[in-house]
Amino acid sequence: MTDIIKILSEELNIKEEQVKNTVELLDEGNTLPFIARYRKEVTGGLDDTVLRTLEERLNYLRKLDERRAEVTALIDAQGKMTEELAAAIAAAVTMTEIDDIYRPYRPKRKTRASVAREKGLEPLATLISEQRLSYDTPIAESAEQFVDPEKGVESAADAIAGACDIIAEDISDNAEYRKQIRSYTYDYGMLVSKAAKEEDSVYSLYYDFSEKVRTIPGHRILAINRGEKEEFLKVTLELPSEIILNYLFAEIIKEPESEAKQYLMRAMVDGYERLIAPSVEREIRNLIFDNASEGAIVVFSDNLKHLLMQSPLKGKTVMGYDPGYRTGCKLAVVDHTGRFLDTAVIYPTKPREDIEGSRRTVLGLIKKHNVEVVAIGNGTASKESEIFIAELIRDLDLDVKYAMVSEAGASVYSASKLAAEEFPDFDVTQRSAVSIARRLQDPLAELVKIDPKSIGVGQYQHDMKPARLDESLYGVVEDCVNSVGVDLNTASHSLLSYIAGINTTIAKNIIKYREENGEFISRSQLKKVPRLGDKAYQQCAGFLRVSGGREVLDNTAVHPESYPAAKGLLTRLGYTEDDVSRRALSEMRSRAGKIGITSLCEELGVGEPTLRDIMDELEKPGRDPRDTLPKPVLRTDILDINDLKPDMMLTGTVRNVIDFGAFVDIGVHQDGLIHISEMSDKYVKHPSEVLSVGDVVTVRVKSVDVKKARIGLSLLPADKK
């Protein structure tokens, strides 16, 4: 364990004491959000990103140690452990290195070498490997001694061939050789793809393509892999064999004048081409795929975080509008809290095109419920629906705005068991309309009901390892939900299940308790919820809010364990809890400064990070960190792709960030692309350095291809970060 602490300290560039304390907290069953928020003094203020990396690496290093012990025991059991082997196993820093070391000792299926050993040809292989400058008997004659038709060795040539098979496998099993060959292959190899069938496809760019393995971007690797999987591409990893053979020659041929040289070179070529090269190609392709996947997961996670943390549209009654053709457009009105009020179906689109009837229905709902914003889904028939709503607002001079809302994942939610429980009498499109409205009001609360992979802000997510992707995206959602906090009396069980210390069962128990006993009036009531024990309460309490309860601190992120310190601080600074409710603490910082933060910490028995967090929360009880972010773009008019001209300047919202650029909603049906080269006059390594999902930006139209529905954009300097 001491070594793991040291390794993590060096990798993360943090103190060993920070690592040691964090590992102890994790081993005690504490959650990452709880550690990040309420144990800053213990961890030295490590944020959730560093903590997640630490936990991932900790788990990997522990598994590495388990594998190290397992391999040591297996080799020991064979009686073949040596000091050199033990040292090599101890020094290995990856699973691959340990597996390379174990390769010669692991049980093998039947191979050409194992058959040769069964025929008794190992002594001949040893004889050749000795590389004597002068043999007592020529190797070809010595091979005659091993001829045995009953064993299948018909001639001296057969014997030498079998001995070479043994040598080839020994070369292949050599851990150092494999490590170096893997390195050469990565450094000098080319990933080559060719067309596998004579038909056009989205993979035509890769029908005659090659690029260095070490420099090929991740998105190309993922595209090529998918093209291969769908049988449009044939993919190989090519490397001039002389690079490897020259290396092996230098390592293996110790006596170039020896008679054995010809046989060793024969075994060397066979060992590389038949055994090592195919294996290393698989390993390298797996490696670059894993690296590309990790890169894509990072981008997906970053996009998801910014999508979830978009500023909510608070205090507005919203009409959700799910566009459609044959089955009509479904409408659902929700009040400012997201509570469902009304629903309707209209047919302003083909085939019925009942414009007047649809207008009457929409206008009736707007007037009846004082609708302020229409949230239009961006799926099928969204363009026609946007035109319909924009013209209605213009013609009737309505004090109403509209916003286009991504429908990604809405159909997944609408058909889910959760949606059926929430709206048992609705069909899937009516549920979708409600979800679209709520997405605009509170993206986080609504999107947590959907599998993150279905939200549509990633690239090639369906090609990645599901478990790894799920783990990463769950962590993003968990961090977002806990950083915002949730209202204990309004949160769905989907939202509650992401709170630290609360699983799906406990979340449902909280909902059931709320339904049976009425609204929570204090956090302490959580202790009465079945299966929510002391540990779960410790982990979750600080992230749950009770608005208007008997304890004002219950509507803040102050943890119950710090209530005595928070109340002591108020008293010491001459305030009351009523002052917190009235937000009358404008002089708190100056009063605290006069006493001294260090003195206050000593008096109250808390660390400085905790004290500063307490003051932040007392100043703004019930605050939402998303309120400071850009608000959703609301529109009253509409723009068509045919209206776009080069050099037009428009305002848009970033919808997705990928490896080569960002897609921006500029108010036409088709998102425009800002290529990475159009983001800055300085070098940009990745678009995420400049833009994030949800950013409101000003762009210049660079190019328009109406036929292909492609819009090229350039980010204006004022918006460059």
Q: How many CB atoms lie within 10 A of CB 561?
A: 13
Q: How many CB atoms lie within 10 A of CB 367?
A: 10
Kindly state whether residue 650 falls inside one of the protein's structural domains. yes
Question: Nearest 5°: phi and psi at 290?
Answer: -60, -40
Kindly state whether residue 554 falls inside one of the protein's structural domains. yes
Per-residue model confidence as pLDDT tens digits over 138-170? 999 999 999 999 999 999 999 999 999 999 999
Which DSSP state fits 693? T
Q: How many CB atoms lie within 10 A of CB 306?
A: 21
Per-residue model confidence as pLDDT tens digits over 411-437? 888 888 888 988 898 988 889 999 999
Helix/strand/coil for 486: strand
SS3 content of the chain, % helix, strand, coil (to 5): 55, 10, 35
pLDDT over 90 (residue 642): no
What is the predicted pLDDT for the residue at 571? 95
Q: State yes or no: cis peptide before 351, omega within 30 of 0.
A: yes
Q: Which residue type, as a one-letter code, is found at position 512?
A: K
DSSP 408-460: TTHHHHHTSHHHHHH-TTS-HHHHHHHHHHHHHH-HHHHHTTS-GGGS--SSS
Question: For residues 306 and 657, what is the distance between their CA atoms, to the nearest angstrom?
Answer: 10
What is the predicted pLDDT for the residue at 455? 82
In this structure, are 371 and 455 located in the same domain? Answer: yes
The band of 373, judged by pLDDT with boundaries at 50, 70 and 90, is very high
Q: Does residue 453 or residue 705 have the better pLDDT?
A: 705
Structural domain harbouring 695: 641-719
Share of the chain above pLDDT 70, in %: 99
- The domain total for the chain is 4
In this structure, are 375 and 479 located in the same domain? Answer: yes
What is the predicted pLDDT for the residue at 718? 58
* CA dihedral sign of residues 682, 686, 691, 697: positive
What is the predicted pLDDT for the residue at 556? 95
In this structure, are 444 and 558 located in the same domain? Answer: no
Q: CATH code at 682? A: 2.40.50.140
Show the DSSP H helices in 341-427 as ranges.
355-369, 382-395, 410-414, 417-422
Kindly state whether residue 187 falls inside one of the protein's structural domains. no
Angle between helices 261-270 and 156-173 (to 10 degrees): 60
pLDDT over 50 (residue 710): yes
Question: For residues 84 and 452, what is the distance between their CA atoms, to the nearest angstrom?
Answer: 48
Question: With b meaning 16 or more CB within 10 Å and e meaning fewer, what string describes 375-389?
Answer: bbbbbebbbbbbebb
Average pLDDT over the chain, rounded to an integer: 93
Per-residue model confidence as pLDDT tens digits over 295-329? 999 999 999 999 899 999 999 999 999 999 999 99
Q: What is the mean pLDDT of residues 540-562?
A: 95
Here the tokens at position 162 are: 């079998």
What is the predicted pLDDT for the residue at 406? 87
In this structure, are 6 and 33 located in the same domain? Answer: yes
pLDDT over 80 (residue 717): no
pLDDT over 90 (residue 640): no
DSSP 54-103: HHHHHHHHHHHHHHHHHHHHHHHHTT---HHHHHHHHH--SHHHHHHHHG
In this structure, are 418 and 326 located in the same domain? Answer: yes
Share of the chain above pLDDT 90, in %: 80
Strand pairing report for 661-665 and 672-675: antiparallel
Here the tokens at position 464 are: 């990645």
Q: Which residue type, as a one-letter code, is found at position 228?
A: E
- Which range is most confident: 107-111, 512-516, 707-711, 715-719? 512-516
Q: Does residue 639 or residue 29 have the better pLDDT?
A: 29
Q: CATH code at 589? A: 1.10.150.310
- Last-in-domain residue among 596, 628, 660: 628
Question: For residues 470 and 464, what is the distance between their CA atoms, to the nearest angstrom?
Answer: 10
Kindly state whether residue 351 falls inside one of the protein's structural domains. yes
CB 483 within 8 A of CB 625: yes
In this structure, are 574 and 659 located in the same domain? Answer: no
Q: CA-CA distances (angstroms) from residue 514 to 473, 481, 557?
A: 29, 20, 21
Per-residue model confidence as pLDDT tens digits over 430-477? 899 999 999 999 999 999 998 888 887 777 777 888 888 899 999 999
pLDDT over 50 (residue 721): no
Q: CATH code at 16? A: 1.10.10.650
In this structure, are 645 and 597 located in the same domain? Answer: no
Q: Is 551 exposed, middle or buried (0-12, 13-18, 19+ CB in 10 A)?
A: middle
Per-residue model confidence as pLDDT tens digits over 488-511? 999 999 999 999 999 999 999 999
The band of 627, judged by pLDDT with boundaries at 50, 70 and 90, is confident
In this structure, are 612 and 675 located in the same domain? Answer: no
What is the predicted pLDDT for the residue at 708? 86
Kindly state whether residue 271 falls inside one of the protein's structural domains. no
In this structure, are 525 and 461 located in the same domain? Answer: no
CB 68 within 8 A of CB 98: yes
Q: Is 514 exposed, middle or buried (0-12, 13-18, 19+ CB in 10 A)?
A: middle
The band of 2, judged by pLDDT with boundaries at 50, 70 and 90, is low
Kindly state whether residue 293 falls inside one of the protein's structural domains. no
Question: For residues 461 and 466, what is the distance between their CA atoms, to the nearest angstrom?
Answer: 9
Kindly state whether residue 151 falls inside one of the protein's structural domains. no
Per-residue model confidence as pLDDT tens digits over 187-226? 999 999 999 998 999 999 999 999 999 999 999 999 999 9
Q: Which residue type, as a one-letter code, is found at position 404?
A: M
Kindly state whether residue 257 falls inside one of the protein's structural domains. no
pLDDT over 50 (residue 275): yes
In this structure, are 466 and 327 located in the same domain? Answer: yes
Here the tokens at position 572 are: 């010491």
In this structure, are 337 and 481 located in the same domain? Answer: yes
In this structure, are 619 and 484 located in the same domain? Answer: no
pTM: 0.86
Q: CA-CA distances (angstroms) from residue 214 to 22, 24, 94, 110, 222?
A: 35, 38, 19, 35, 15
Q: What is the mean pLDDT of residues 540-544?
A: 97
